[in-house]
Amino acid sequence: MTQNPRIAFLASSTDGAQDAAAKLTERYGQAEPAEADVICTLGGDGFMLQTLHRHGGLGKPVYGMKLGTVGFLMNHYRDDDADDDLLARIAQAEPAVLRPLEMIAATESGASVGSLAYNEVSLLRQTRQAAQIRIDLNGQTRLDELVCDGVMVATAAGSTAYNYSAHGPILPLGSSVIALTPIAPFRPRRWRGALLKADTEVRFRILDPYKRPVSATADSHEVRDVVEVTIRESKDRTVTLLFDPEHNLEERILSEQFVV
């Protein structure tokens, strides 16, 4: 990275994030994302995911600062950051390379919808009736029928989010593993999911889509009334997040496993 990188400051709509963006822009200037050397996001994890979906294709490293409710993917923001040497923090930051999941969802109407997920792809029942889902891995049926509220596939970075709330495992960063986790499984009642190689192709088939409709969500992009959902790790898309050395993403994921 250049000694004086061009920074694109992107802020969520909250007053705190907007105020911080104004202070930082006045001190360091403002570049368009496509022209920047680094993108600096100001907000919470939700805004970080929005930024990755919107600008991840640019290949720019992203340094986030928490000015939102949840900030697992963010660095700390201090009130005096506008007077601090942000350039030094960025220069000393440690990179974490994330590879998202690719989702292709086929709907009852015959449409095919694609989307990326940096945290997880989740399937959820749309009505009071439990979903009935068949699970294929690399073209082979592994579970003939999962009766459940839903099921998800989570990345390592996303394993501490919805996946963990559903009692799924926390995955070490760089483990090349993804988590397949059921949500409130009714049958098989004792099935708790599986750990899969990251290059595994996961296919969910909805067994009764008309009586028991299901939606699929890649991060925050929802597709309703799906009949089949295929998920695989992206082969050509990565994003790089930057973290302060004392609290990098690998350390955060490890620390989450010792919270009591």
Instruction: Answer yes or no: is 162 a known binding residue.
Output: yes
Instruction: Answer yes or no: is 46 a known binding residue.
Output: yes
The verdict on whether 45 is a catalytic residue reads yes
The one catalytic residue among 45, 199, 225, 244:
45
C-alpha–C-alpha distance, residues 116 and 231, integer Å: 9
Instruction: Answer yes or no: is 256 a known binding residue.
Output: no
Residue 254 makes CB contacts below 8 A (sequence gap 6+) with 172
Instruction: Answer yes or no: is 163 a known binding residue.
Output: yes
C-alpha–C-alpha distance, residues 38 and 147, integer Å: 45
Bridge partner list, 243: 94
Instruction: Answer yes or no: is 120 a known binding residue.
Output: yes
> In a 10 Å sphere around its CB, with 0-12 CB exposed, 13-18 middle and 19+ buried, how is residue 140 labelled?
exposed
Instruction: Answer yes or no: is 149 a known binding residue.
Output: yes
Instruction: Answer yes or no: is 160 a known binding residue.
Output: yes
For 143, the token pair is: 């579970």
Instruction: Answer yes or no: is 179 a known binding residue.
Output: no
Count of residues making up the chain:
260
Instruction: Answer yes or no: is 150 a known binding residue.
Output: no
The answer to whether residues 200 and 137 touch, using CB atoms and an 8 Å cutoff, is: yes
Instruction: Answer yes or no: is 233 a known binding residue.
Output: no
For 17, the token pair is: 């994030």
Instruction: Answer yes or no: is 194 a known binding residue.
Output: no
Q: How many CA atoms lie within 13 A of 241 on its CB side?
A: 26
Q: What are 86-89's contacts with CB under 8 Å, separation 24+?
A: 86/7, 86/24, 86/27, 86/28, 86/40, 87/4, 87/5, 87/28, 89/63, 89/244
Instruction: Answer yes or no: is 111 a known binding residue.
Output: no
The answer to whether residues 154 and 181 touch, using CB atoms and an 8 Å cutoff, is: yes
Positions annotated as catalytic residues are 45
Binding residue ranges:
45-46, 119-120, 149, 157, 160-165, 184
Binding residue ranges for NAD(+):
45-46, 119-120, 149, 157, 160-165, 184
